[in-house]
Chain A
Amino acid sequence: MGTINVVVVAGDDASAVRLEAGLDGGADISVAVVGRAEDGRSAVEAVRRLRAEVAVVGLGRGDPSRSPAGLTAIRELAQVSPVRILAVGDDDADTDLAVAALSAGAHGFLARPTEPSGLLAPVRAVASGHSVLDGPLLCALVGSAMPRDTELLGLLNPQYRELWRMVADGLDTIQIAERLYVSERTAKRMVAFLLRRLRVANRIQAAALAGQAGLLDDRPAPAATAT
């Protein structure tokens, strides 16, 4: 096996030391360290200069008010060079941060390995063209890929599907009547018909069922706000 050139991009010295330890003892791996993960440009330069195949990027602590350190570097690396990128999370990295790193262009995400040399096997797998994820992240992502009860969608004609959306959006009878250009009385009757057709007792259940059936999947889900 040939040598794999790896550039380590870390937010601070302590993090650089830990990431380097993760690559300890790989005879086939040559490591160079670039500090300051915020600075995507120096990471890009180092990757070019050293002809690195893999960049290991440490993700700093999630400060909700700013983009976490490391994401910028991942974004810039993904844009300009064919280097393979492995993001490594800090102790408090959550699924959202992992998703952000992968969406920014990383080819893998791992929580920081607890054992020395723990990054060797993942780096080799990433270098050979595969994507790697740690177990908890895979579980969270797979858990979200739920099968939808799409049969329910087929029960209704387009007009009633639209009505179902309005109910799920929390519109009241008056708002629904306005949108459909019908009387309030008619709107009420239509909602009653919808609930009967869906075999649910009330609007709240109809809304939950809409989410479950995938009726709302074509639009962005609400995002959590920090407490």
Chain B
Amino acid sequence: MDDDVLTVVLVDDHQLFSRGLELLLNTDPERRVRVLARTEHADRALELVRHHRPRVAIIDLMMPPPGGLAAVREVKRHYPDVRVLALSGNDETGTAIEALRMGADGFLLKSSEPDELVPPLLAMAAGVSVVPAAVVAALLESWVRSGQRAVSDLTEEEVSLLQLVAAGLESLEIADRLHVSERTAKQRVATLLRRVGVTTRVQAAALAGRSGLVTVVPRPTLEGE
């Protein structure tokens, strides 16, 4: 089964926790994990990873500046192959999602049972992401809410057509961009609207904004306004 030992570095300013975790992982009865090094400083995370080249970096999110999120981002930017497991004592799902957005491959609560830590670490090393159920629930909710369901299956051409519609282009302008007749452009737009489940171009624009396919930047304040 898992022949090689999983190598880990720990980044956590909370020494007691970090030492405890090191001890726990190093004394796994099946010797599946080895902690190579630890640091208490978020800004030393990258150096630690560069020096030790672990398979997994465990990074606490609640650290003094530059903080855990910055450490996650730095490590993933320079070493995308190193799996990053974010830890937090705070069960706010927003914190977890922020870490995942920064590139973390998984998230665990510090309150997890110690003997339940090794299996998720091994799964992370095998390329799977591990997160608490509450985080999955929050992600599912945002998936539904954001309208991804309507746009996730669109082809690249359909996405760019939706973006043109959402930018407020008229049929004739769309026809010019696509090098087709105005009639064809109108037909394509009508098909697209049906496909994403809306009836007007304005609704299509709302969906595009909701799902992040377009970003409207309100014009800057003019002097005297």
Contact = CB atoms under 8 A, between A and B. Distances in A.
Interface stretch (B42-50, B56-64, B201-209): B201-209
A51 B6 CA distance: 31
Nearest to A167: B202
Contacts of A222: 147, 150, 196-198, 203, 207
B208 A208 contact: yes
Nearest to B210: A211
Contacts of B221: 199
A146 B94 CA distance: 11
A168 B203 contact: yes
B118 to A, nearest CB: 8
A77 interface: no
Nearest to B208: A208
Contacts of A94: 152-153
A107 B167 CA distance: 40
Interface stretch (A9-17, A35-43, A135-143): A135-143
Interface string A212-225: 11001100111111
Given A110-B128, A142-B100, A208 B195 contact: no
B212 interface: yes
A48 interface: no
Given A121-B125, A130-B132, A216-B210, A141 B149 contact: no
A118 B122 CA distance: 12
Contacts of B144: 99, 220-221
Contacts of B119: 121, 124-125, 127-128, 130
Interface string A181-225: 000000000000000001111111101111111001100111111
Contacts of A213: 209
A26 B135 CA distance: 29
Contacts of B165: 204
Interface in A140-172: 140-146, 152, 167-170
A44 B130 CA distance: 26
Say which size band chain B's interface belongs to: 35 or more
A63 interface: no
A115 B143 CA distance: 29
Contacts of A220: 144
Given A25-B1, A94-B153, A221-B145, A208 B129 contact: no
A86 to B, nearest CB: 10
Interface in B185-199: 194-199
A199 B219 contact: yes
A211 B30 contact: no
B200 interface: yes
Contacts of B97: 142, 145
Contacts of B24: none
A225 B191 CA distance: 10
B2 A121 contact: yes
18 contacts: A27-B1, A99-B143, A125-B120, A129-B113, A132-B123, A145-B142, A169-B202, A169-B203, A199-B218, A199-B221, A201-B219, A204-B202, A204-B205, A205-B168, A207-B206, A211-B207, A222-B197, A225-B196
The 4 closest A-B pairs by CB, nearest first: A211-B209, A211-B210, A221-B147, A222-B197
Given A99-B140, A102-B136, A224-B151, 7 more contacts: A133-B129, A141-B142, A144-B142, A209-B218, A211-B147, A211-B205, A221-B150
